Amino acid sequence: MHNSTVSRHSKNWIFEGDKMNFNRAVIKVGSALVSPENKGCSGKYLLAIAGFITECQQAGKEVILVSSGSVAAGRQLIKHCSPTPSIRNKQAMAAVGQMQMMANWQRFFDVPCSQLLVTHGDLKDRQRYINIKNTLSILLKNNIIPIVNENDTVATDELKVGDNDNLAALVALVSEADCLFILSDVDGVYDQDPRNNPEAKLIPEISEITDEVYAMAGPTTNAIATGGMKTKIQAAEKAVENGIETYILNGSRSDIFDSLLKGENPGTRFSAKETVAKARKHWLKHTLKSNGKVYLDKGAVNAVINKGASLLPSGINKILGEFIAGESVDIINANSKKIIAKGICQYSQRDLLRIKGCNSDEITNILGYCPSKVIIHRDDMVVL
């Protein structure tokens, strides 16, 4: 293993001095922690996790939970005659278990929790993607903890993410988090299988995810888990490519949260190559295809280029192309006809034609609804 890829030295990554260096984190909690004995929900490990989340919130940080465990939580409530229940039985288990799991989480927090059930189809669809993003943003602004899980009751193979490790990475992307914690019953990535080799060593830091790193991932041995170390590394790869620091940690050990709060790394850290902001701007500029054009007047051009402002409907005087909410558009100076920026539009071309040139306060009266007072938020825009 190359030294540039893997380091065996743990460093102070979570904190700088006594200050956490992330602003928004996604914490993924595996089934083995929610239902450790596969017999309904338990608070055995969740109390310490909830305590860490509360500490983060009190430090001014935002946290989104991605929680597995609905099938395990409902397993004892649905009659089945096999150690491997059918898909139909699992979907019924998920339906009843989701209620049990949410009630179990809520009892550990003084602030409200909220439930978001999603499928891969929701994340692939731009309209639903933007709806998920907006919902998460509003929940966090109102100090409500979003708890996300895959919608196992309705998801088909074509629409399933398949494991909550990768779902957590996708949620981190949607929510523009800058840190992802993947908690399960394993300490992190080892250089060898620790079940077979007592000399196996935990790797504290991985700076580049290579084939060698994947080769160290063995299959899961937990009967109720849907992913092993491989899916955790896949999730880490998705996250770090988009500027999100990722950690694989053993959530069954309460002492790891003390270590985190002291600024220590008790598991495996995957380092992001660039910041979330830079990664997102790069994605907007080079990857996302534009589906329309929005022309701005002189005042709006100045606000976008020189003031870093979001785009309001009042500055728009012309629209070309067909696009739906959540798709990318080119932002054009109406005078020079030059593209000045690119961004994700909160409105469809049809709705935008009706509100262009209007004040934001008029949107509800014109459309009958107002998902956003800005047409393109500055965080969803890159100036070219």
Please count the residues of the chain.
384
Q: What is the pTM (predicted TM-score) of this model? A: 0.77
Backbone conformation region of residue 243, classed left if phi is above 0, alpha if psi is from -120 to 50, else beta: left
1 is a domain residue = no
**What is the rounded average pLDDT of the residues 129-138?**
89
The answer to whether residues 18 and 97 belong to one domain is yes
Among 186, 183, 209, 190, CA closest to 270: 209
Asked if residue 225 has pLDDT above 60, the reply is: no
Task: Give whole-number Cα distances, 294 to 63, 297, 327, 372, 378, in Å.
Answer: 35, 10, 12, 17, 15
- Residues 286, 289: Cα–Cα separation, whole Å: 8
C-alpha distances (whole Å) from 375 to each of 99, 188, 313, 355 are 37, 42, 6, 10
Q: What is the CATH number of the domain that holds 208?
A: 3.40.1160.10
Could you tell me the residue range of the domain that residue 50 belongs to?
A: 6-279
In a domain, 74, yes or no: yes
Which residue, chain included where needed, has tokens 């007047």? 297
Average pLDDT over residues 217-242: 74
Tally the domains of the chain.
Answer: 2
pLDDT at 305: 94
pLDDT in tens, 264-313: 899 999 988 777 777 777 777 766 789 999 999 999 999 999 999 999 99
CATH for 375: 2.30.130.10
Residues 273 and 294 in one domain: no
What is the per-residue pLDDT for 14?
53
**Burial (Cβ within 10 Å: 0-12, 13-18, ≥19) of residue 181:** buried
pLDDT number for residue 129: 82
Same domain, 220 and 316: no
Mean pLDDT over each residue of the chain, to the nearest integer: 86
pLDDT of residue 20: 57
For residues 187 and 149, membership in a common domain is answered with yes
Q: Do 149 and 292 share a domain, yes or no?
A: no
